[in-house]
Structure 1
Amino acid sequence: MSVAAAKVPYRLKLAYGVGSIAYGIKDNGFAVFLLIFYNQVMGLPADLVGLAVMLALIIDAFVDPVIGHLSDRTNTRWGRRHPWLYASLLPVGLSWFMLWNPPDWGQTGMLVYLTCSAILVRTAIALNEVPSLAMLPEITQDYHERTDVIRYRFLFGWMGGLFLLWLAYAVFLAPTPEQPAGLLRRGGYQAYAWSGVILMVLAILTVALGTHRALAKPPAKLPPRLPLGEELRAMRRTLRNPAFLTLMGAGVFAYANQGLNFATSTYMQTYVWEFPGWALSLWPVTLLAGVVMAFVITPIASRRMGKKRAAAALALVAVVFGLLPYVLRLAGLFPANGDPLTIPLFLLLMTLAIGFSVCPMMLTGSMLADVVEDSEMKTGHREEGLFFAGNLFMQKCVTGIGTFAAGTLISAVGFPDNAVPGQVDPAVIERLMLFFTILTALFVACAVTVFLRFPLGEDDHAERVARLRQDTPPP
């Protein structure tokens, strides 16, 4: 029985999932530490850091569709995807090290260095992430099994990123007598960089070797090779698939919100909630607990409500829990900083918010795999790499916008440089919470509205797969 038709073995799910650790480390680094490192440690203004990251991500994002398109057409004895995985090992490690070790070139030079090194990191990660993600429709064609497989990728991606985040808070960037503000210690970021290099390389080797036997085979069918102009037009036709565009529309708002939340999280915990060092080290544990919760909830919700309704409903629940601490604090109803209830209550609400917010992301990955057969019915070609690359393209552009929005927000509320926790003007803190709450609510409301317009479901998916297995030509 083929891999596509069988129950996917756990060893294959685990190998596929572990491969996302590199992407998780990259995402956490960009979202949590990059802004504060280049702003508070290296001295670049926050709005310029946000602008540099946004420009870098948008420019780099155009590489993803090219990688996806080329991997769909790669024809080797190791198949379409695995040559790309092995080729990504050195670029990933080298570029990640460069990002966290900028030279002292002054403000303009450092800004250029940040932009260029961010592009290199994102491109190198794409060499692994795009072909890895594109293996999902090849692993299984079962509607619900896809959700089960993709959740392992999210679980390990978050685990890898959060493990390194915990190491950073608890070890590399922990307060010392010489530097009580551990997040401002430059040497800690060098240890963070080296640890990331090691974990990323090991993760890529695991997914490549762990899926090699099952999937590294010459493709049975390849899309046709066309002149460059025709190739570009064919890519545009494929990516205009209505179901794909609906998912991308929902993702625009969802990932802009994620970028905003992650980029501001360190500021919120340090200056709004005034977490002590031990509480900061608990934050990764809180995030991991939320992801494990999503790992359990997602397949259950998908089977009971269907993928699109589950995604919309769980996103709404997530934003309620996520904004509750800020709404209550603005209303004067949340315990004050220093109260024994403040940190446990905040972490509990954040665990629930994170858990419910990760569920729609898992479901989106599963729905994207379903788009592959819908497109094949209409075009006659399977182009998994192009679709998953298009999704990454959207994520990179929009997460950059979220990071830019965070940097702009920090500057717009008048947040001071070299700020000391507990000594920031309360009016600035209140403006930060208010604007953050409004932006988050708007982003999620728009994402939910678009999710509900996704046109594909379980019944029509089963019909498409049956027709494709019979080699029925597309209508």
Structure 2
Amino acid sequence: MRTTDARPHPPSFGTKLAYGFGMVASGVADNGLSFFLLIFYSQVIGVDARLVGIALTVALMFDAFVDPVVGYWSDNLRSKWGRRHPFLYASAIPAAAAFWLLWNPPAGWSDQALFGYLLVVAVAVRTMISFFETPGAALAAELTDDYDQRSSLLAYRYYFAWTGGNAMSVLMFAVIFPMFATAAIANGQFNRESYALYGWITSLLIFVAVLTSALGTHSRISHLKPPPPKREMTLGRAFKEVFETLANRSFAALFLSAMFGAIGNGLAAALTFYFLTYFWGFTGPQTLMIVLGTFISAVLGSLLAPVATRLLGKKRAAMSIGLLAVLGSPLGVVLKLFGWMPDDPQFVFWFVFIGGVIDVGLIVCFQILFASMIADLVEQSELKTGRRSEGLFFSASTFIRKLVQGLGVIAAGLVLWLARFPTGAEPSEVSDEAIWRLGAYYVPVLLLVWLAMVLVISTYKLDRRSHEENLRKLAARGTQET
């Protein structure tokens, strides 16, 4: 019979490394779905871009509703391998296989047939990744209940997520696309064979990452929390328990913050290459340098989060670092809009490069602190409900992020429309007035959304002292029950 420790031993460096490396799977999948899939199906395969957009949006919305189901299911699963690991092991092969299929669609099919293929496979990819990612995220609150250790553990997770996805972007542009440039297809980005190789590499990475995370944390199963007591499960009871668990003021703060953050991130991501190409006028090598800077940012944010947790506490650190990131992100744009940026192109590039490295590092740190704050809600909820609901808490935050992510893209389109920005134009064909309007509309919209994100977090109530008090009460309750 499986036993559990009241206070799990701190995870070793090897456990943290294996746990974190699993997020390479999510980083690689998100990177492919966000940056390469639209151009592959629309420009390389030749499917109507509107159909591709519909398929990707439907898959994302379907996935948003899958997350809470998987989270609640994994909270209540009873097995010899605990509540989470059966999902990790079960997702490895299907996730890898579905991702391979995504980049190897049948040849000669009609637009409608390829739309159906893309929709089914994209849903399968997102569902299988959720079967790994949601229980995997929930493990953070089980592997340790220590206030500081949770930030340290999650730092590994976010480091590998950012690094894994970014590494594939660099590999594509620096190696794979040039490798498949031919006399007939001068730019390998439009060669179908580039994406076939990409599919093999990424599917293998996903398989290895998921298994590494599962096997690397398998020895901890005996120390993880057991499922709640058996009871008759009905749909009504499930909805009642979900509502009871999530009816928490501090969770509401994080839920709303995640919503604003997703909109802001969607807006910034959608316009990133507009600013690099049109606003700043950077060359291809300079843009690649800025992408490479993300590797430094991932290290910076992962190292900063545990330190900020110890020095400031999670709420104060998240608000302080979030505010710095919010104000720092559009700083260069503001300086150029007001004519305060020097005309020296080298100075401008290094200002944007260094500022971007620092800003993305702060964003990584903020995301780690945010996830660690979610983990601390678990014990507070357990005192109230008598149930551990790690999966439900983490899945609810990803639910809202995925559901509203498209609003950021819509906001980006609105900014471009307000700026009267021309479509299909080379940088030299865009007027200075249109470029100025792009920055002038972008900055206030971005600041409004991200400042709302930081402001909402101020209503989060859990701190180090209250977390330790929750652990003390749970330990006392456990002693009384035995």
Instruction: Give the TM-score, by structure 2 length.
Output: 0.88
Residue correspondence of structure 1 range 411-450 to structure 2 within 5 A: 418-450=424-456
TM-fit CA distance, 1:438: 2.5
In structure 1, C-alpha distance between the alignment counterparts of 2:222 and 2:406, rounded to whole Å: 34
Go from structure 1 to structure 2 and tell me whether the alpha carbon gap of 1:218 and 1:95 turns closer, same or farther (over 3 Å shift).
same
Partner of residue 169 from structure 2, selected from 165, 168, 178: 165
Partner of residue 17 from structure 2, selected from 10, 14, 17: 14
Partner of 1:309: 316
Letter in 2 for 1:462: E
Go from structure 1 to structure 2 and tell me whether the alpha carbon gap of 1:392 and 1:361 turns closer, same or farther (over 3 Å shift).
same
Letter in 2 for 1:471: R
In structure 2, C-alpha distance between the alignment counterparts of 1:120 and 1:29, rounded to whole Å: 15
Contact 2:337 2:436 in 1 (8 A): yes
Go from structure 1 to structure 2 and tell me whether the alpha carbon gap of 1:411 and 1:183 turns closer, same or farther (over 3 Å shift).
farther
Contact 1:140 1:146 in 2 (8 A): yes
Larger CA deviation: 73-82 vs 103-112: 103-112
Contact 1:318 1:353 in 2 (8 A): yes
Go from structure 1 to structure 2 and tell me whether the alpha carbon gap of 1:170 and 1:16 turns closer, same or farther (over 3 Å shift).
same
Partner of residue 282 from structure 2, selected from 272, 275, 280: 275
Residue correspondence of structure 1 range 143-292 to structure 2 within 5 A: 143-174=147-178, 176=181, 183-215=189-221, 220-225=226-231, 226-292=233-299
Go from structure 1 to structure 2 and tell me whether the alpha carbon gap of 1:339 and 1:183 turns closer, same or farther (over 3 Å shift).
farther
In structure 2, C-alpha distance between the alignment counterparts of 1:121 and 1:379, rounded to whole Å: 34
Go from structure 1 to structure 2 and tell me whether the alpha carbon gap of 1:346 and 1:38 turns closer, same or farther (over 3 Å shift).
farther
Partner of residue 134 from structure 1, selected from 135, 138, 147: 138
In structure 2, C-alpha distance between the alignment counterparts of 1:53 and 1:459, rounded to whole Å: 44
Partner of residue 471 from structure 2, selected from 433, 454, 465: 465
Go from structure 1 to structure 2 and tell me whether the alpha carbon gap of 1:148 and 1:324 turns closer, same or farther (over 3 Å shift).
same
Partner of 1:367: 373
**1:429-468 deviations in Å (ceiling 9; x for gaps):** 3343333323211111100110111011111110110110
- Is 2:326 the counterpart of 1:319? yes
In structure 1, C-alpha distance between the alignment counterparts of 2:40 and 2:419, rounded to whole Å: 20
- How many equivalent pairs are there? 473
Specify the SS of the correspondent of 1:469. Answer: helix
Partner of residue 74 from structure 2, selected from 71, 77, 81: 71
TM-fit CA distance, 1:278: 2.1
In structure 2, C-alpha distance between the alignment counterparts of 1:347 and 1:186, rounded to whole Å: 32
Contact 2:418 2:441 in 1 (8 A): no
**1:78-127 deviations in Å (ceiling 9; x for gaps):** 11111111111122112223333456656665555544433222111101
TM-fit CA distance, 1:53: 3.5
Larger CA deviation: 439-448 vs 211-220: 211-220
Letter in 2 for 1:279: Q
**1:123-159 deviations in Å (ceiling 9; x for gaps):** 1110100111111111111111111111110111111
Specify the SS of the correspondent of 1:134. Answer: helix
Go from structure 1 to structure 2 and tell me whether the alpha carbon gap of 1:410 and 1:72 turns closer, same or farther (over 3 Å shift).
same
- The answer for unaligned runs of 5 or more in structure 1 is none
Contact 1:54 1:404 in 2 (8 A): no
In structure 2, C-alpha distance between the alignment counterparts of 1:247 and 1:413, rounded to whole Å: 33
TM-fit CA distance, 1:6: 2.7
TM-fit CA distance, 1:277: 2.9
In structure 2, C-alpha distance between the alignment counterparts of 1:158 and 1:314, rounded to whole Å: 18
Letter in 2 for 1:73: N
In structure 1, C-alpha distance between the alignment counterparts of 2:69 and 2:157, rounded to whole Å: 23
- The answer for unaligned runs of 5 or more in structure 2 is none
Contact 2:72 2:391 in 1 (8 A): yes
Specify the SS of the correspondent of 1:275. Answer: coil
Letter in 2 for 1:149: L
Specify the SS of the correspondent of 2:15. Answer: helix
TM-fit CA distance, 1:381: 0.7
- Is 2:355 the counterpart of 1:349? yes
In structure 2, C-alpha distance between the alignment counterparts of 1:15 and 1:411, rounded to whole Å: 46
Go from structure 1 to structure 2 and tell me whether the alpha carbon gap of 1:112 and 1:441 turns closer, same or farther (over 3 Å shift).
farther
Partner of 2:384: 378
Larger CA deviation: 98-107 vs 354-363: 98-107
